A and B are shown apart, each in its own frame.
Chain A
């Protein structure tokens, strides 16, 4: 598994949680780039991501992510740990 693979899986989660099959996320994507990615949907995104990858983020980790790519790198680190 690599960051690109993780990004693809995360994209599926975004589509499912935002109920929008047209959503495309990239490494540089941030919340303002995605329609419907608001504070409440972020909660559901994080819940789904943590469950899907069987990982746990900390609050400080979530706050430090500058974009989706950084989150995917963190996911990769955790799943390989």
Chain B
């Protein structure tokens, strides 16, 4: 495999949940659940404000794989995500991914990743398997 990546290699980035990200997600997928759109309702359920759609993080993961990794020809083969805490509009999430396993036999790499908020509270974590095509 000639990905140039090595087991243990770490990638660190930050992603801001901007109005544009939020509005674009709603425009694309139409998830306007009241928890995601009404601050008062979200606060009545114990949240700080309206809760962002969890799958916004999937978009950030897509950007990480497609644009941050120094490998052009990649395809996502599987992905897991566990949500630990809600995240909110205008938050800047800290992202860290590490190459945990290189499968030379099938030209694939596995990453574990984590999103934290600025106070290092875990937002979500999981694994991604990508193939070098």
Contacts and interface: CB of A to CB of B under 8 A. Distances in A.
A76 to B, nearest CB: 17
B99 interface: no
B104 A56 contact: yes
Contact of A62 (B78, B105, B110): B105
Contacts of A57: 104-105
Interface in A3-37: none
B106 interface: yes
B106 A47 contact: yes
Interface in B66-114: 77-78, 101, 103-108, 110
Contact of B110 (A40, A47, A59): A47
A62 B106 contact: yes
B104 A47 contact: no
Contact of A50 (B77, B78, B105, B107): B105
Contacts of B108: 43, 47
B129 to A, nearest CB: 6
B54 interface: no
29 contacts: A43-B77, A43-B106, A43-B108, A43-B129, A43-B131, A44-B77, A44-B78, A44-B129, A46-B103, A46-B105, A47-B106, A47-B108, A47-B110, A50-B101, A50-B103, A50-B105, A56-B103, A56-B104, A56-B105, A57-B104, A57-B105, A58-B104, A58-B105, A59-B104, A59-B105, A59-B106, A59-B107, A62-B105, A62-B106
